[in-house]
Chains A and B, each alone.
Chain A
């Protein structure tokens, strides 16, 4: 921070991208004081943020970007947080996904009073509780960076909980490691396939083994049974229509949609009890989006519990049976998928509070 201050000394225009993401509240106050002083000195400051309160707190004018385009520009004083939220979420036609009513069964995944902190003690997820039942898709709506990623990592066993419990079926999994949790029947489709979900230098069939490298189908002997893996990979490729249909190719050579299909084949092709699914269609072409959506619905109809995290509100609304909104690590509301975008947008911005009790139900 000190270094940055000096570096920017003398700059006329300062652009800050999510400057408060890793700061504590008191540091944020400090930063805002510096920014106001810079403004007083006649400098130009551009702040990129998804926290609407910060926009109101420090800016003079605001532009809203959506899908790479500026959709609105206002003087900050003339706008409300509600209007910003609406502009941010936008009004888009729901993608048509055929799905019948859900038939929720027993609770498969439950999270109680879960709190996560980073290394510096900053709270990332704050006392979150919810349940996902067999045969339903619960969507988590929220602007990226509000604790959804960390929540998923905690459920998958990659991140340790500060407090709270996580259960898969009857079994508490809070302190288990990712391999144990996967063995108990949790599938995990990570948000970032390049960073976490795949090893791009591996062949596709090797990636179909990632996390399942101990599966007795190919790992029963001293050496891996490459024939069995090849057969399984070819079956997966056919079933999930991965193109080109060559599982020996390097994974980096597949398109984003086909890479995602590889992950989905790996994760839900193994009949898990529950699945946590992050950004399943990010950077994926339309055709693959449809296929992936149909898969998730089919999985739900087979009685699996699915937790879906997506930055695409359309996707959340068209797939979910229930929607939880997350903002700054807290669940700020629960609603039906029919709820209007404006209302969901308000909840995503943390402005329709007081409905947390519903979220527990």
Chain B
């Protein structure tokens, strides 16, 4: 085990797979960040992602293009986001309840329609490679593919698909827009102190709607990634709780984009390690049940929420419908 080449051999594929597994988390986590920074709590990330995955699978199959799938995913996800926005912003309804409803709506409709349209137990048709986002080979850079650096290059950095690059690009974009533009500043202000923003003559509802739409777009990317990049089509309950892990990552990141990147990579790596270690004994520990790794994101989030390792405090006005004083 002391041979660096062996360590690289062992770790590079796990890190690469961790990155791939963290992509949907990152999209969804940033989606939640946009929404909650504006004061709209969203526990419907899971549902939007699932619906988007279904739409992306169906869209890509129908138009034989991954881009059509991406667009379909985004459209459906934004539509659900607008339902949530209508309930949360216009109707001043309970945002948790609305999120729960959207999760169920997506869980039910995807399988129902999938069964009716394709009759494969809720699946969408198997996508051909031309209908998917495939890894972009960045060449070998002249590195020896068997050397350590070559392995790191080929397993960790090269070979990711376009959506993966989008996800990592979304982090700095989110940061710049939310922290370095007037629009972003107002959007964050609306999540902290909507009255102040209203007093300044800016529409609270308008800002929140824009945030909710961005949230829908990002969830659309997350779903499309699952169905047309990572897999070749939609299968029922494809998200399998990833929306909630993204929610955990959001809490973990203290609602900040760079932290979100770190949290999603961490949770993605945990997942990759769990897959890699299935049934493999660890030196000194014996076989660690795979469930330990699966439970870690949730357990860590609870510990963080408890304030034992730094406090994670949401935007002040999140979850509270805004009512003008009359």
Contact = CB atoms under 8 A, between A and B. Distances in A.
The reply, when asked whether chain A contacts chain B directly with Cβ atoms under 8 A, is yes
Nearest to B188: A3
What interface size band does chain A fall in? under 10
B189 interface: yes
Interface stretch (A5-13, A100-108, A143-151): A5-13
B192 interface: yes
A6 B185 contact: yes
Contacts of A4: 196
Given A3-B192, A6-B182, A11-B200, 16 more contacts: A3-B185, A3-B188, A3-B189, A3-B193, A3-B196, A4-B196, A6-B185, A7-B185, A7-B186, A7-B189, A7-B196, A7-B197, A7-B200, A7-B202, A8-B200, A15-B199
Nearest to A15: B199
A299 B221 CA distance: 70
Nearest to B201: A11
A222 B199 CA distance: 52
Contacts of B185: 3, 6-7
A148 to B, nearest CB: 24
16 contacts: A3-B185, A3-B188, A3-B189, A3-B192, A3-B193, A3-B196, A4-B196, A6-B182, A6-B185, A7-B185, A7-B186, A7-B189, A7-B196, A8-B200, A11-B200, A15-B199
Interface of B: 182, 185-186, 188-189, 192-193, 196-197, 199-200, 202
Q: Decide if the interface of chain A is mainly helix, strand, loop or mixed.
A: helix
Contacts of B182: 6
Nearest to A3: B189
A7 B188 CA distance: 12
A6 B200 CA distance: 10
A6 B193 CA distance: 14
Contacts of B197: 7
Contacts of A3: 185, 188-189, 192-193, 196
Contacts of B196: 3-4, 7
A7 B199 CA distance: 9
Interface string A3-29: 110111001000100000000000000
B218 to A, nearest CB: 24
A8 B199 CA distance: 9
Nearest to A8: B200
